[in-house]
Amino acid sequence: MFQPTYLFVGKIYPLSLLTMGMEWQHTVYMYPMLLSAVISMVLVAYGTAHVYRNGGRPVTLAFVGLNVTIAIWTSLTAFKVLGSDPAVKLLAFKAFHVGSTFASPMFLVFALAYTDNDEWLSRRTLAVIFTLPVLTLLALFFNPNSIGILDWELITHGGLTTLEVQSGPASVVRIAYGLVLDLLAVGVIGWYALRAGWSSRNQVASLLVGIVPPAVVIYLELTDVYPPGGVGVNLVPASLAFTSLGFGIAVFRYKLFDIRPLGYRTAVEQSPNGIVILDEDETVRYANETASESLEREPLSIGEQAEVAVPGYEHLRTEEGPVTITLGQGDGRFFDLRRRTIERRGSTVGWIISMNDVTPQRTSQQALEEQNQRLEAFADVVSHDLRNPLNVAQIHVDFAHEKLDGDDENLDTASAALTRMEDIIADVLTLARQRQPVEDHEPVTLSSSANEAWEMVDTAEARLRVESDLAFEGATDRLQRLFENLFRNAVQHGAEDVTVAVGALDERSGFYVADDGPGIPEDQRDRVLESGYTTRPDGTGFGLAIISEIADAHDWTLTVTESEWGGARFEISGVTTRTRLHESVQ
């Protein structure tokens, strides 16, 4: 009677062995294989769910693919070891090579994706990486001219039946190619580990630690050295249990799929500020490109002491605020250095040094200081060199008035001109001094500041209304000058009984001063803030310009618009408010 048979590498076995009385054997090596298979399947399921929820990032897809190959490799190898029938072992031998053949290429793809080298993962690159494994796997399955397998035999050692295979040329090429890809992948991850710094070191450590056991076993296998009792059993799949555990720790403990580590890493690497990371011995462990460029050392030496690598570092140990240093030749560039502690479980494990290029701010500050010095010098010239001869002229005019009993139109005109000159000089001095930035802010209230300024202005029959109060911060003397000039402007351009209203802005942090006078035409609202612009014959044109300078010195915004009565309305916004107080009317 005809009996179906199974042909493999020139040896024939009954196919009935696959279906009749299959026998199983036991070995301790199956447990790590099965453990690796289970962990890999869990990681595949978790990674697939992550891709479904968040989309397929290259690192996630590569990780899933790698663990699929590990799961196939370890589960079918365990099946091959457990089965005692030749047909079972032969089929499992073929099948597990699907996983082992593609594990190394997938490992390299994962390494490139994990280290943010996605540009290497083009279709052409992937085709180059996977072409040889595909060809060698086909050679193993079909074995033309014995290029995949030369021979095989079943041996029994210590009660365990194992399958020993003599590899053909194609299998030797496949194994050698896989080792090369593994070394490349380890090199890529290792180089990344040296550059990644502290933000990813736990992830990298988990991955690399998981790779070490298989590497050791492969070395022992190549040198024909096996652990005691391991004869006849390929221990590489068993050692993959450590790999799966390392991958699992990287995923669940250190958030391999999380965008935050990648975000932190990207933020540090692409930060416009220099970032230097030190360990607990104050040794440089990482420096981004900006830091290396700023320190004119590309790249910054890893392992160098901070005092040598970072100028001014010794001051960071004792000073809480930023330390400013100058780098470069000539005018150089200014950097503010700050040091922040890295802590783990309450203990200091390192420091982060940030380098902020403040050259534009320092240059602007120096230019502003020079400008203020010139303004002070100008004010001194106006105050002394112009006022002295002006006072002399005024004295002589007054003396002539006395001699002529004050009955001379020419002297009246000259006296009025001298008085106008005195007003102009006073306004110019005020304008120059109000341009200096406000350094000392004080708590003030809108009602008290407005009322005090109102008392200092000749308001005739005008009336002040404080419609709502506001507490904010400002320079008291300059704020009073601002209100005085606004009130004086309202009285001078409006009727004698003009009403002036003061209150807090509704939608912005600030206040307004409005009146029911004739208002300011829309086409003149910008010009009225310019120095020297006036519509009155006896005006100096500096009153509203001084208001604008006071607002700028506080870093406030001044806007001219129309009041609800058709008069002028000045809005000052951007103030630092404390609270809005009760409504009041005076």
Q: Tell me: the pLDDT tens digits for 395-420?
A: 767 777 677 665 667 767 777 666 76
Which tens digit of pLDDT belongs to each residue from 285-324?
888 888 888 887 766 677 888 888 888 888 888 777 777 7
Architecture of domain 271-357: 2-Layer Sandwich (3.30)
Question: Helices (DSSP H) in 115-168: which residue ranges?
Answer: 123-142
**Got the DSSP string for 264-302?**
HHHHHHT-SSEEEEEETTSBEEEE-HHHHHHTT-SSPPT
Give me the pLDDT at residue 15, please. Answer: 46
Give me the pLDDT at residue 3, please. Answer: 40
Does domain 362-434 bear CATH number 1.10.287? yes
Helix (H) or strand (E) holding 97, with range, is helix 86-114
Q: In the chain, which segments carry CATH 1.10.287?
A: 362-434
Output the CA–CA distances (angstroms, integers) from residue 409 to 88, 404, 414, 423, 461, in the order listed: 130, 11, 9, 21, 32
CA distance 386 to 348: 65
With beta carbons less than 8 A apart as the criterion, state whether 501 and 515 touch: yes
Give me the pLDDT at residue 143, please. Answer: 85
**pTM score of the predicted model:** 0.50
153 by DSSP, 3-state: which? strand
Which tens digit of pLDDT belongs to each residue from 333-377?
888 888 888 886 678 888 888 888 888 877 777 777 777 677 666
Report which of 528, 549, 298, 328 is spatially closest to residue 431, judged by C-alpha positions: 549
Top-level class of domain 34-263: mainly alpha
CA distance 278 to 285: 5
Q: Report which listed range, 362-371, 386-395, 519-528, is most confident.
A: 519-528
What share of the chain in percent tops pLDDT 90?
Answer: 13
232: left (phi over 0), alpha (psi -120 to 50) or beta: left
Look-up of token digits 């005691």: 228
Q: In the chain, which segments carry CATH 3.30.565.10?
A: 442-580
Does domain 442-580 bear CATH number 1.10.3720.10? no
With beta carbons less than 8 A apart as the criterion, state whether 33 and 77 touch: yes
